[in-house]
A and B are shown apart, each in its own frame.
Chain A
Amino acid sequence: MNNQIKHPKGDRILLLTNNILLTIIVLAIVGPLLYVFLSSFLEPNAIIRKGLSLNASDWSLEGYTRLFTDDTIVRGFINSLLYSTGFTIVTVLVCLFAGYTLSVEGLVGKKVFMVFFLFTMFFGGGLIPTYFVIRDLGMLNTIWAIILPGAVNVWFIILARTYFKAVPNELKEAARIDGASDLKIFFKIILPLSKPIIFVLALYAFIGQWNAYFDAMIYLDDRELHPLQLVLRSILIQNEVQPGMVADVEARNELMRISEMIRYSSIVIASLPLLIMYPFFQKYFEKGVMVGSLK
């Protein structure tokens, strides 16, 4: 590292600027998150008006207690858990199966399959014809409308195929000589070797579904079925504070203050679990991207 000394002056200025800029960028990303977190315990804008107060009376859990006096958030949480888990299982299985088939050398019809899948990445029938199909299958207001239509993820299939291709052919050949069937080879040899890719795909699928709202908005009318993101949308965007949360609030100002706190708390409740967990997954995400970029 002592070649640092050899850096010409221009380079050193550039490196210094680089460090300063990166610091600013990190602050610009972390700042708003921190602001939301603190605001969920404080009266909105109190940080700006008074600075961070150490005065205990300025802090309150009212936003959170109000949020939990109504069961919509809890129900949304459970629904999201259900949808995301179901979606993850189906998507990962379907895409691993397809990816394995496409990874087999000399597969008859491989090109046809690839074109068949890739085409759907660039062209589709659009929102309304898709809605009709799902409606005609009787899947409106059922979990299937969330799980099945997006289960085939072409990008996942390509990732899985790339991974399986890297599994040494000798392994499969040896098993085949021992009389193992394709199915046995897949489940007994390939899958146990594929934990990293399974984990990566599962993470991508779960987080994608956890954060999605669009399909649920279109296909699930019934409020009881709404996932967390739709509940959040009504609180955050449509500014509908559920009646259960503010039943006893009379004055308009008081209502405004509380609904503001509820909105900040709901952001924290919805985002914190993933934000806390993601550093543990970080290396897997990077692995996933690398596998994908190798092609």
Chain B
Amino acid sequence: MPVSKPAAATKLSKNLTYIKKNYILYLLIAPAVILTIIFKYIPIYGATIAFKDFSPIRGITGSEWVGFKHFTSFLTSPNFIEILMNTIKLSSFELLIGFPIPIILALMLNQLRKSSVKKNIQLALYAPHFISVVVVSGMVFLFLSPVGPINALLSTFLDKPISFMSDPDYFRSIYIWSGVWQGAGWASIVYVAALANVDPQLHEAATLDGASLLQRIWHIDLPTLKPVMAVLFILAAGGIMGIGFEKAYLLQTPMNSPSSEIIATYVYKRGLLAGDYSFATAVGLFNAVVNVILLGVVNQVVKKLNEGEGLV
């Protein structure tokens, strides 16, 4: 195309003069770019060891290609279904319970008339967010131990203490509800901020028209929250497979592992603890790919439901 060629060339030289003139801007962004390349993009290249038999002596480039060997061995291994299901169950239950609670909490807080009361309640609700996940897990262990306060309280009804932490049946509830305890208040902050933008006149007008409180929440408050909800839901749903390693690993005991072993903890143990680098990387990569696909699907679905408004 003879016409576009010189056009492209002038554009390129124009851009080059811009960059030359404003080189300081590019210097300012350089540290972020360099760190991202080193710690984010080089590991993506390194993930090719999932398709190789990694040998520490020969390094990443020198190791032999083996195709999908590690993927098939994971997909056909006896614990594949269990680990996959544990991951999906834990995170989807967490999403189903953890996502709506902050919204409800924000709507409840929004009904408080006195702003000083509201402030103090918020102060209490946010507090657990500032406690570390190690400490929260430690509290869980202390509270739920056979000699802990929960069992002491239950002892009037039970003849034998429940060993919550060594029973796989309790793991999911413990994980999810301790997460709600720690995070729901803090997560409500975004919705509270969004509700603060609702025009009070809307509520007054609706009240004069005889709308009940529930009707006003349904027709005025919830529609205001919808865009925030959509974005946060996509992000949360996209993270389903990326469920936090940190807390699952802390709350894991050898006895509850039938329900607490998830992909992230498995990768850590097989990879870094057992030195099975290629296999663990393959498992991690499988996880990451499923995650990206999920994110795309959820984004599309939410876009459809939300009149074309999605994340991307």
Residues of A within 8 A of B (CB): 1, 3-4, 6-8, 10-11, 14-15, 18-19, 21-22, 25-26, 28-30, 32-33, 35-36, 44-45, 47-49, 93-95, 97-98, 100-102, 104, 107-109, 113, 116-117, 120, 122-134, 137, 148-152, 157, 181-183, 186, 207, 210-214, 218, 229, 232-233, 235-237, 260, 263-264, 266-267, 270-271, 274-275, 278-279, 282, 285-286, 289-290, 293
Contacts and interface: CB of A to CB of B under 8 A. Distances in A.
B38 interface: yes
7 contacts: A14-B213, A26-B125, A104-B25, A182-B24, A211-B132, A237-B137, A270-B132
B57 interface: no
Given A151-B35, A286-B189, A125 B130 contact: no
Interface string B112-140: 11000000011111111011111101110
A232 B40 CA distance: 29
Among B26, B108, B131, B143, chain A packs the most CB atoms within 10 A around the CB of B131
A77 to B, nearest CB: 13
A32 B139 contact: yes
Contacts of B111: 15, 18
B142 A213 contact: no
A267 B135 contact: yes
B130 A237 contact: no
A235 B228 CA distance: 40
Interface in B76-132: 105, 108-109, 111-113, 121-128, 130-132
A95 B32 contact: yes
B223 interface: no
Interface of B: 15, 18-19, 22, 24-26, 28-29, 31-33, 35-36, 38-47, 49, 60, 105, 108-109, 111-113, 121-128, 130-135, 137-139, 141-143, 147-149, 152-153, 181, 185, 189-190, 193-194, 204, 207, 212-214, 228, 238, 245-246, 250, 267-268, 271-272, 277, 280-281, 284-285, 287-288, 291-292, 295
B149 A127 contact: no
A209 B37 CA distance: 22
Given A49-B152, A94-B35, A101-B26, A132 B46 contact: yes
